[in-house]
Structure 1
Amino acid sequence: MKVSDLVEKLGLKVISGEKGLNRVVDGAYVSDLLSDVMGNARENQVWITLQVHQNVMAIASLKDLAAVILVKGLTANENTIQHSNEEQIPILSTTLSTFDMAGKLYELLHAEK
């Protein structure tokens, strides 16, 4: 499944990083603790978080994540958006809670298997 499929099927808003919408998604990681994501997230996963600052993209790039999903209608700050566009890692947004977004993403990714 590609990031663009997630956008379409989950009704996500694309904030930035549109050039990365063809990235392949292999799973997801949910955490708001940056060191936890840095130590445990895997390449091609989607990161669900409420963190919006530039360090989010530094970690997403370091871990080669497929995309970042911001919950509760949050949007990234300008530096984060700029970094997302440079790295071609999409930042997506949903009005759903972390719990609801994780559940919907889990169902979608596991329905494909």
Structure 2
Amino acid sequence: MVKVKELTKEGVFKLITNEDTANKIIEGVYCCDLLSWVMSNGKVNNAWITVQTHVNIIAVASLLELSCIIVPENIEVEEETIEKANEENISILSTSLPAYEIFKILYELGIK
């Protein structure tokens, strides 16, 4: 089992929310940018890869009890979103990698 905070150890992923948010276990991965689709298909303890950065992603992550949100390609996350994520205890990770490369790393860590 991999915890969110373990993803930050190699320097590929940067935690942009409080460190307290990073203790959840990741049990799967979901990648989608359409919020309603994620709400229908995401699973509890999934890491969610999305290019969306507005505050509504926190509502979706909280509703589904996702382990974290991963924002690819160094896309800047709105400050309001980061603040709300901290309030809701949702981790947001940022990386320069595209979604495909993120999937590869998570798969190699045993997250499927």
Structure 1 counterpart SS, 2:108 = helix
Query: Could you state the TM-score of these two structures normalised by the residue count of structure 1?
Result: 0.91
The offset of 1:10, in angstroms, is 6.2
Identity of aligned residues (%): 41
Match of 1:97 in 2: 98
CA distance in 1, matches of 2:95, 2:7: 11
Match of 2:32 in 1: 31
Paired letter, 2:110:
L
Which consecutive unaligned segments of at least 5 residues does structure 2 have? none
Residues 42-101 of structure 1 show CA distances to partners (whole Å, capped at 9, x for unaligned) of 111100111100011110000010000000001210111111100111100000011111
CA distance in 2, matches of 1:10, 1:37: 27
The offset of 1:9, in angstroms, is 4.2
The offset of 1:11, in angstroms, is 2.1
Q: Which 4+ residue blocks in structure 1 deviate beyond 4 angstroms?
A: none
Which consecutive unaligned segments of at least 5 residues does structure 1 have? none
Paired letter, 1:4:
K
Alignment of 1:1-113 (within 5 A): 1-9=2-10, 11-110=12-111
The offset of 1:109, in angstroms, is 2.2
The offset of 1:102, in angstroms, is 1.4
> What is the number of residues matched between the two proteins?
111
CA distance in 1, matches of 2:5, 2:37: 26
CA distance in 1, matches of 2:55, 2:93: 15
Structure 1 counterpart SS, 2:23 = coil
Q: Is the 8 A contact 1:15 1:75 kept in 2?
A: no
Query: Could you state the TM-score of these two structures normalised by the residue count of structure 2?
Result: 0.91
